[in-house]
C-alpha cells in the first residue's frame, strides 16, 4: 500500500495506474474509519484493479461553529484498516497542499440549500469542491459514497453529471451497529447515556417503514416519526422530512421514490440517518 501525502504524489501514482490500463476505484473519507467506510472499500476492491482511499478532514465543509478542530483523527488506525481492506493507495494530504490560496469553488444550487444544506450553510459547497478536486487528482473510474449521507450522494451524482466528470458514482448501503445506530466517526462524541439514547433514530425509521403507504400525506409520516423521537428525552429533532429521492424537494403526498432523511441532536452531537423506498401500496 502506498501513502501519498501530497497532491503531486497521488497524481503520479494514479497516472501510473492509468498508463497500465488499470481501473481505479476511489473512496473519499475524512478518516477515523469504521465498518461503514470499510464497506465502501470492499465494494471498490471488488470492482476495480486499484483502490485509492482519501483521508482528509476537509476544512471547507465545516462551518465556523462546527467541529473541525475536534473532529476525531487516528491515522495509524486508519492505515491498518485500509491495509486490511486491500487499499492500494491512501491519499492523506495537508489542507495547505489541497487549498493553497484557492479561489475557485464548486457550487450546486437548489439541491444543496435544503435539509443539511439549510442547517449547515456552505457545507455542500465544501463537499463538492473537495470531491471535484479528488476526481481531478485521482481520475477514478468509479467513486464510492455511503447512502448514510443521502443528500450528499444525490448532490455528487448531480454534480458529476452536470460537470461531465467521467466517473461512475456508486452508492453503498448504510452500515449499522447491532442496535441500529448508523456507524459514524461522530458517534465517538456520545457519552454513555447519549449512546444509549442514539438508537432512537433507528426506531423512528423502523416505525416509519412499518406505516408508510402510497397516498399517505407526508405530514402524517413525519408526525408519527417525530413522536418516536420525542419520547427520548436526550434527543432533539432538527428535522424529519419526506423528499423526492432525486431532487431533495419536499413532497406533500407519498407516491413515487421518496427519501426520508432526519437530523437529530443527541446531547451536543448532530446525528443523521434516513431510509428511502418506493411504496408499493
CB 216 → ligand AMP: shortest distance, Å?
Answer: 27
SS3 at position 240: strand
Measured between alpha carbons, how far is 263 from 150 in angstroms, rounded to an integer? 12
Binding track over 172-211 against ligand AMP, x by CB under 6 A:
x-xx------xxxx--------------------------
Quote the least distance from Cβ 223 to ligand AMP, whole Å: 27
Q: Which residue's CB is nearer to ligand AMP, number 29 or number 269?
A: 29
Using CB under 6 A, which of 149, 194, 232, 273 touches ligand AMP?
Answer: 149
Number of residues that bind ligand AMP (CB under 6 A): 17
Candidate residues 7, 13, 14, 30; the one interacting with ligand AMP per rule CB under 6 A: 30
Q: In this chain, which stretch among 29-37, 66-74, 89-97, 261-269 interacts with ligand AMP, using CB under 6 A?
A: 29-37
Per CB under 6 A, the list member of 71, 145, 189, 275 interacting with ligand AMP is 145
Pick the closer one to ligand AMP by CB: 39 or 60: 39
Query: Does 34 participate in catalysis according to the annotation?
Result: no
C-alpha angle 132-59-94 in degrees, rounded to nearest 5: 80
DSSP category for residue 148 = G
| Touching ligand AMP, residues 38-97 (CB under 6 A) | 39-40
| Least distance between ligand AMP and beta carbon 248 (Å) | 15
Judged by CB under 6 A, which of 148, 158, 195, 270 binds ligand AMP?
148
Torsion of CA 37, 70, 117, 33, to 10 degrees: 0
Alpha-carbon gap, residue 54 to 143, rounded angstroms: 11
Here the cell at position 5 is: 501525502
Cell match 401500496: residue? 281
Provide the residue count of the chain: 281
- Which residue out of 34, 37, 92, 123 is catalytically annotated? 37
Least Cβ distance, residue 276 to ligand AMP (angstroms):
14
Angle at 125 between CA 205 and CA 5, to 5 degrees: 100
| Alpha-carbon separation of residue 3 from 14, 41, 89, 183, 251 (angstroms) | 12, 16, 6, 25, 45
Burial of 192 (0-12, 13-18, 19+ CB in 10 A): exposed
Residue of closest CB approach to ligand AMP: 146
Grid cell of 217 as nine digits: 400525506
Q: Name the minimum Å distance from CB 134 to ligand AMP.
A: 12
Q: Is 159 in the site for ligand AMP (CB under 6 A)?
A: no
Question: Which residues neighbour 258 within 8 Å (Cβ) at sequence distance 6 or greater?
Answer: 218, 242, 243, 244, 245, 251, 276, 277, 278, 279
User: Candidates 10-18, 33-41, 74-82, 159-167 — which segment interacts with ligand AMP by CB under 6 A?
Assistant: 33-41
Which residue numbers are catalytic? 37
Point out which residues bind ligand AMP (CB under 6 A). Answer: 29-30, 36-37, 39-40, 145-146, 148-149, 172, 174-175, 182-185
Amino acid at each position: 500500500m502506498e501513502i501519498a501525502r501530497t497532491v503531486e504524489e497521488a497524481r503520479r501514482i494514479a497516472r501510473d495506474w492509468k498508463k497500465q490500463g488499470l481501473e481505479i476505484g476511489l473512496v473519499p473519507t475524512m478518516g477515523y474509519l469504521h465498518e461503514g467506510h470499510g464497506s465502501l472499500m470492499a465494494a471498490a476492491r471488488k470492482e476495480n484493479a486499484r483502490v485509492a482511499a482519501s483521508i482528509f478532514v476537509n476544512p471547507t465543509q465545516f462551518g465556523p461553529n462546527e467541529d473541525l478542530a475536534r473532529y476525531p483523527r487516528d491515522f495509524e488506525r486508519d492505515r491498518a484498516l485500509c491495509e486490511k481492506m486491500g487499499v492500494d493507495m491512501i491519499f492523506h494530504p495537508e489542507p495547505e497542499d489541497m487549498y493553497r490560496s484557492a479561489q475557485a469553488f464548486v457550487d450546486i444550487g437548489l439541491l444543496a440549500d435544503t435539509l443539511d444544506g439549510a442547517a449547515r450553510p456552505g457545507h455542500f459547497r465544501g463537499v463538492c469542491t473537495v470531491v471535484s478536486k479528488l476526481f481531478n487528482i485521482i481520475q477514478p473510474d468509479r467513486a464510492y459514497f455511503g447512502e448514510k449521507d443521502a443528500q450528499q450522494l444525490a448532490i455528487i451524482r448531480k454534480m458529476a453529471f452536470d460537470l461531465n466528470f467521467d466517473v461512475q458514482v456508486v452508492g453503498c448501503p448504510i452500515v449499522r451497529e447491532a442496535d441500529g445506530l448508523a456507524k459514524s466517526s461522530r458517534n465517538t462524541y456520545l457519552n454513555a447515556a447519549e449512546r444509549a439514547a442514539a438508537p432512537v433514530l433507528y426506531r423512528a425509521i423502523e416505525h416509519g417503514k412499518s406505516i408508510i403507504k402510497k397516498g399517505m400525506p407526508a405530514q402524517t409520516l413525519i408526525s408519527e416519526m417525530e413522536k418516536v423521537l420525542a419520547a427520548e428525552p436526550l434527543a432533539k429533532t432538527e428535522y424529519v422530512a419526506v423528499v423526492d429521492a432525486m431532487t431533495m424537494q419536499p413532497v406533500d403526498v407519498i407516491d413515487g421514490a421518496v427519501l426520508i432523511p432526519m437530523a437529530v441532536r443527541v446531547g451536543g452531537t448532530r446525528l443523521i440517518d434516513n431510509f428511502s423506498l418506493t411504496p408499493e401500496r
